[in-house]
Amino acid sequence: MVQEQPYIPKNKVRIVTAASLFDGHDAAINIMRRIIQATGVEVIHLGHDRSVEEVVNTAIQEDANAIAMTSYQGGHNEYFKYMFDLLKEKGAGHIKIFGGGGGVILPTEISELHEYGITRIYSPDDGRAMGLQGMINDLVKQADFPVGNELNGEINHLEEKNPTAIARIISSAENFPEVAKETLDTIHKKNETTHIPVLGITGTGGAGKSSLVDELVRRFLIDFPGKTIGLISVDPSKRKTGGALLGDRIRMNAINNPRVYMRSLATRQSNLALSKYVNEAIQVLKAAKYDIIILETSGIGQSDTEILEHSDVSLYVMTPEFGAATQLEKIDMLDFADLVAINKFDKRGALDAIRDVKKQYQRNHNLWDTNPDDMPVIGTIASQFNDPGMNTLYKKIMDKIVEKTGADLKSTFEITREMSEKIFVIPPHRTRYLSEIAENNRKYDETVLTQVEVAQKLYGIYKTIESVSKKQVNIDKAGIEVNSLNFNDDNKDFLNLLVKEFDRVKMNLDPFNWEIILTWNDKVNKYKNPVYSFKVRDKEIKIETHTESLSHSQIPKVALPKYQAWGDILKWNLQENVPGEFPFASGLYPFKREGEDPTRMFAGEGGPERTNRRFHYVSLGMPAKRLSTAFDSVTLYGNDPDLRPDIYGKIGNAGVSICCLDDAKKLYSGFDLSHAMTSVSMTINGPAPMLLGFFMNAAIDQNCEKYIIENNLQVEIEEKINEIYKAKKVARPRYNGELPKGNNGLGLMLLGVTGDQVLPKEIYDDIKIKTLTQVRGTVQADILKEDQAQNTCIFSTEFALRLMGDVQEYFIQKNVRNFYSVSISGYHIAEAGANPITQLAFTLANGFTYVEYYLSRGMNINDFGPNLSFFFSNGIDPEYAVIGRVARKIWAKAMKNKYGANERAQMLKYHIQTSGRSLHAQEIDFNDIRTTLQALYAIYDNCNSLHTNAYDEAITTPTEESVRRAMAIQLIINKELGLAKNENPIQGSFIIEELTDLVEEAVLQEFDRITERGGVLGAMETMYQRSKIQEESLYYETLKHTGEFPIIGVNTFLSSKGSPTVVPAEVIRATEEEKQFQIKTLETLHNANSGLEEEQLEMLQDAAINNKNLFERLMEATKYCSLGQITSALFEVGGQYRRNM
């Protein structure tokens, strides 16, 4: 395909870009906004997870020509239609709407949206036909119309702060100065008597000005509940194309408030930090009677002071990384700024930096009689929630504004501490942890090689002794058993010499390694015996060591090498070993658990009842119930179901809707959550602690129900519940519809109440303690991976990590031994585009970051180590054949030798899901072939559990038929495939050993690269992980597109029809009834717990402020409050996640 040339717009075109609400898929919109910008457009980029109201308000305030959205999480019909309606309602129907969502948006839905009035929804076929630039040209061409060429009395609506009127006059001033002249003259005249303060904020690029402005706005809105604020933010235009990235809004959370107006301006000229039309924009905002105006420039050089001409009070923002102190003499703004903020005060050298800047400020302003400590230079960490330095800066700014302008803005904001203090997740002295692990593991490998050399030498001497002695020679702990030698006059001296040499060489062999050699034959014989016995937590388990084939061959479950030489034996034991022994290369346990295949199938759709039915369908007749839960995007982002269209459309789509404890009870009803053969996995991250609270309480209440039945208390308890609901005047919650086959109703008796409301306290407490020790499962809760790859972060990173730590601490206190507090996930890193080595390296690096964080909180590694689990993707690349064994080896070596952990904490347990990225929408029947090969990799590598994707997941939510086929893939391998009867089939293969060494070293090298960037969190600040993932994704997509990387049925071996994209015959979506029932459930909860909810949320916030364990409180709050209520309450005390570009 010939690359199309970019369209050249005739007008100044402004376009708002974003990904839709509760949608973290931002890779596509990032590519689109780059191309739109390169086509000469001013792009206002909002990033992922944006509501219709946010996008529409932005488009109106920015006077945009168009909105360009991506929507990959369903609910697109409601989302785009609501956007169209809201624009019309707000008098902005001229703004055009463009969108795309890959195969998620069906052709019939595209037609429906076009008919409704949406300008254009692009399909995958459009992309193939037009190419990326062709699509963008089409979009920009349709959005290329003049804005501000006419004014129709907008000036009359300024004082009512009408955003459309304000925006249009600013656009007119920018685009058609001659049209705006008369209006602006009138505004200037009016403003002669107005004294509205302007705060000018300038500084170097990358100093964090946008985050700092957002934090100032947040404090202003709290400090002055009735006052308003206007923002003007300037970003540079590209000289080559005229396009601009107006990206300040992406970092801001506080501006989504009716009391805030923001307008982004492009400089529209190179080498300047301000637009020519800044003064006009300020005058328009003054005429609109905003109480304060903030003007933020783009990044400036050392000599730029342009901001001073437009502001009453000026703030210069810099970082500690300005170089030598002499550089400060060159910064003009230090001569004129009223205040200086040294942001990113957590950087190395910050205290020296603030001292030098204060001295320079003192010199520049001739303040020789003033103590340098009293200079208006403040260290801040704007990215940290409720930062004391930001509080101090805000107070000083407001005081300076009052002092200089006499504005009625006397601040009553309270300051607790003056100085910014970084809340370190990883203590500074531990930032080299990943390189230390790499060094530790390499040292182990070097030691192994040295010891192997010694053992091999010893074996050579031993065989020589045997040859000279002409009989079998025995060995024991001390070395050669001299009594077993055959001495005679001819060989006596030579044998004595050999024994002496043997003893000398043996002194270099670790006694532990000599023991391995001594006991090797015993180990081999243990596996040859018909029955093998071993202990798990003091319980003896006996296993048959062989299975019999149809040909009556005895197939060993574990095959051992037939090595004779001691060096080979030692190397194999130290680097491979049998399953269940360090370094766990071939598996964690001596044998697989019989009667429980590692099958774990994913389900989640509609309301809790529908998913409950699917769970019972996939586990019917299975001895082990392994449930894996997918949540809808409303739940994933910690929200409640709502009638608002952009939320409503997503309820129960692409996952189950869960917003309260009753939902969790219905979801898992009929499954005994305390049974040793039941295990539940929950794929949830941002709001994971709340969902975990729902789950734990559901399990506790199930055991309360069992107690009630065992003690024949049903009638009495039923009466109690009826009385409770009679008093509340609310209908009792119920399971919607009939119970499915296999559901015995366990978990539904106490719907609407909890066990502590109907049982005596001591009985409830006993049941609770016991239940917590019994539940089995996993909650994903991996916040680091979310920031790097998947974008379902909702809280600030530090607060999210604190929540994770609180959960783990609670697990230790309550002896929760069988439930994993986190599933450290590489799957989503791979799905975002990472190759297998990067997936493994980033995932293990994240895992070790949690280890370091928990250690820094004083937890014992042997207490929390066993609660950590992992989750990987399996593609078809060669490295996937060894991903599990390499992970187990790296983890075990580090945990044992670096951290001194016990054996249980050394075991890396992981779940595998076959690659979603390798499911193609062309020739979908071929997907099962790929999935089968990936499942084979996983089973041969001894994964702990496995999910096989359904072949039709590329185009729709899986049907019962496709799920059954996906299950059959695993079952056929486990039950029918002969080689799979052996549990270490890839051990001993030359290529597997080669790949293992290759991948292990590649991962350790990546650890070193991350260390160079300050560890995982330091690398995240510079977006190292995200950039690397995107580069690797682009590399794969390019090779796929050119056909250099052959994909059967996609770019080669096409059918006679050209293997077109398959459109699903049926699409599974949540029904109206299900959505309405979820909203009704929520209403019932709020009515039933009115008053109690507020009390619980207050106690939760109090726990956050006073540094108490939050999960302890969440266990109570989740009994009464909804998910959305808890999320909102925690935003106020923990801070919202700040998006990155």
235 is in an annotated binding site: yes
- In-domain check, residue 233: yes
Buried residues in 348-376 as b, exposed as e (16+ CB within 10 A): eebeebbebbbebbbebeeeeeeebeebb
One domain for residues 354 and 467: no
One domain for residues 567 and 605: no
- In-domain check, residue 9: no
CA angle (769, 773, 778) in 5-degree steps: 125
One domain for residues 229 and 348: yes
Confidence class for position 239, pLDDT limits 50, 70, 90: confident
Query: Locate tokens 């989640």: which residue?
Result: 604
CATH number reported for the structural domain that contains residue 251 in this entry: 3.40.50.300
CATH number reported for the structural domain that contains residue 787 in this entry: 3.20.20.240
- In the three-class reduction of DSSP (H, G, I as helix; E, B as strand; rest coil), residue 229 is classed as strand
- In-domain check, residue 1112: yes
103 is in an annotated binding site: no
Task: Find out whether 976 and 943 touch, Cβ atoms under 8 Å.
Answer: no
User: pLDDT per residue over 129-140, tens digit each?
Assistant: 898 899 999 999
The percent of the chain in helix, strand and coil, each rounded to the nearest 5, is: 50, 10, 35
Average confidence (pLDDT) over 760-771: 98
1021 is in an annotated binding site: yes
Task: Find out whether 32 and 159 touch, Cβ atoms under 8 Å.
Answer: no
- In-domain check, residue 423: no
Query: Locate tokens 């200037």: which residue?
Result: 188
Per-residue pLDDT at 599 = 67
Rounded Cα–Cα distance for residues 567 and 579 (Å): 20
1056 is in an annotated binding site: no
User: pLDDT per residue over 927-945, tens digit each?
Assistant: 999 999 999 999 999 999 9
Average confidence (pLDDT) over 670-698: 97
1: pLDDT strictly greater than 60 = no
CA angle (664, 828, 910) in 5-degree steps: 75
481 is in an annotated binding site: no
1140 is in an annotated binding site: yes
DSSP 8-state class, residue 1071:
-
User: pLDDT per residue over 807-853, tens digit each?
Assistant: 999 999 999 999 999 999 999 999 999 999 999 999 999 999 999 99
873 is in an annotated binding site: no
799 is in an annotated binding site: no
Tokens of 108: 């019939």
Q: Which amino acid is at 1063?
A: V
- In-domain check, residue 994: yes
**What distances in angstroms separate CA 860 from CA 817, 856, 981, one per listed residue?**
14, 10, 38
597: pLDDT strictly greater than 80 = no
Confidence class for position 4, pLDDT limits 50, 70, 90: confident
Confidence class for position 955, pLDDT limits 50, 70, 90: confident
223: pLDDT strictly greater than 90 = yes
Task: Find out whether 796 and 1138 touch, Cβ atoms under 8 Å.
Answer: yes
209 is in an annotated binding site: yes
Counting Cα atoms < 13 Å in the Cβ hemisphere of 716 gives 10
β 66-70/42-45 pair status = unpaired
User: pLDDT per residue over 360-378, tens digit each?
Assistant: 999 999 999 899 999 999 9
Please list, in sequence order, all residues whose beta carbon lies within 8 angstroms of the beta carbon of residue 464, skipping any fewer than 6 positions away: 498
Rounded Cα–Cα distance for residues 435 and 433 (Å): 6
Helical H segments across 470-519, by residue range: 492-506, 511-518
- In-domain check, residue 184: no
One domain for residues 629 and 683: yes
Per-residue pLDDT at 95 = 98
Per-residue pLDDT at 324 = 86
251 is in an annotated binding site: yes
One domain for residues 387 and 442: no
Per-residue pLDDT at 761 = 97
For the chain, first and last CA: distance in Å?
Answer: 30
Per-residue pLDDT at 298 = 83
Per-residue pLDDT at 274 = 87
Per-residue pLDDT at 598 = 61
Confidence class for position 420, pLDDT limits 50, 70, 90: low
Rounded Cα–Cα distance for residues 836 and 829 (Å): 9
Out of 103, 126, 143, a domain closes at 143
Closest CA to 137 of 248, 9, 13: 9
- In-domain check, residue 457: yes
One domain for residues 837 and 702: yes
1033 is in an annotated binding site: no
Task: Find out whether 12 and 175 touch, Cβ atoms under 8 Å.
Answer: yes
CB neighbourhood size of 1038 (10 A): 11
Element (H, E) at 630: strand 625-630
Average per-residue pLDDT in the chain?
Answer: 94
One domain for residues 757 and 861: yes
Average confidence (pLDDT) over 646-663: 97
Before 583, cis peptide (omega within 30)?
yes
210 is in an annotated binding site: yes
**Cα 621 off chain centre by:** 35
Task: Find out whether 847 and 888 touch, Cβ atoms under 8 Å.
Answer: no
Average confidence (pLDDT) over 464-489: 93
Out of 82, 115, 143, a domain closes at 143
Tokens of 487: 């001495």
909 is in an annotated binding site: yes
Confidence class for position 2, pLDDT limits 50, 70, 90: low
DSSP-assigned beta bridge partners for residue 910: 870
Q: What is the CA radius of gyration of the chain?
A: 33
User: pLDDT per residue over 1083-1125, tens digit each?
Assistant: 999 999 999 999 999 999 999 999 999 999 999 999 999 999 9
Torsional class of 752: left (φ above 0), alpha (ψ -120 to 50), beta (otherwise): left
Rounded Cα–Cα distance for residues 1040 and 1035 (Å): 9
**What distances in angstroms separate CA 943 from CA 560, 947, 951, one per listed residue?**
20, 11, 21
Before 760, cis peptide (omega within 30)?
no
304 is in an annotated binding site: no
**Cα 573 off chain centre by:** 37
Tokens of 738: 């009939």
One domain for residues 396 and 492: no
One domain for residues 535 and 394: no
Please list, in sequence order, all residues whose beta carbon lies within 8 angstroms of the beta carbon of residue 757, skipping any fewer than 6 positions away: 720, 724
Tokens of 260: 């805030």
Query: Would you state the torsion angle of the CA atoms of residues 494, 496, 498, 501, taken in this order, to the nearest 10 degrees?
Result: -140
One domain for residues 906 and 990: yes
Torsional class of 1037: left (φ above 0), alpha (ψ -120 to 50), beta (otherwise): alpha
Q: Is the dihedral angle over the CA atoms 653, 658, 663, 668 positive or is it negative?
A: positive
Task: Find out whether 148 and 174 touch, Cβ atoms under 8 Å.
Answer: yes
Tokens of 263: 């307008």
One domain for residues 674 and 538: no
One domain for residues 810 and 955: yes
Per-residue pLDDT at 424 = 81
1080 is in an annotated binding site: no
Per-residue pLDDT at 601 = 67
DSSP-assigned beta bridge partners for residue 120: 98
Q: Which domain holds residue 1089?
A: 1082-1134
Q: Write 783-787 long-range contacts (CB < 8 A, 24+).
A: 783/685, 783/686, 784/846, 784/849, 784/850, 784/1016, 784/1020, 785/685, 785/824, 785/825, 785/826, 785/828, 785/829, 785/842, 785/843, 785/846, 786/24, 786/685, 786/686, 786/828, 787/1020
β 531-536/539-544 pair status = antiparallel
How many domains does the structure of the chain reveal? 5
- In-domain check, residue 181: no
Per-residue pLDDT at 104 = 86
Torsional class of 862: left (φ above 0), alpha (ψ -120 to 50), beta (otherwise): alpha
CATH number reported for the structural domain that contains residue 63 in this entry: 3.40.50.280
776 is in an annotated binding site: yes
Q: What's the whole-model pTM score? A: 0.94
Average confidence (pLDDT) over 544-557: 97
Q: How many residues does the chain have?
A: 1141
Q: What does 926-961 look like in DSSP terms, one character per residue?
A: GHHHHHHHHHHHHHHTT-SEEEPPPGGGGTSSPPHH
492 is in an annotated binding site: no
Q: Which amino acid is at 460?
A: G
User: pLDDT per residue over 1039-1070, tens digit each?
Assistant: 998 899 999 999 999 999 988 888 887 778 89
Out of 103, 123, 143, a domain closes at 143
Task: Find out whether 556 and 543 touch, Cβ atoms under 8 Å.
Answer: no
803: pLDDT strictly greater than 90 = yes
Task: Find out whether 633 and 25 touch, Cβ atoms under 8 Å.
Answer: no
626 is in an annotated binding site: yes
**What distances in angstroms separate CA 909 from CA 552, 594, 819, 867, one per listed residue?**
34, 18, 12, 10
591 is in an annotated binding site: yes
DSSP 8-state class, residue 977:
-
Tokens of 143: 């959005």
593: pLDDT strictly greater than 90 = no
Tokens of 37: 């910008």
77: pLDDT strictly greater than 60 = yes
25 is in an annotated binding site: yes
65 is in an annotated binding site: no
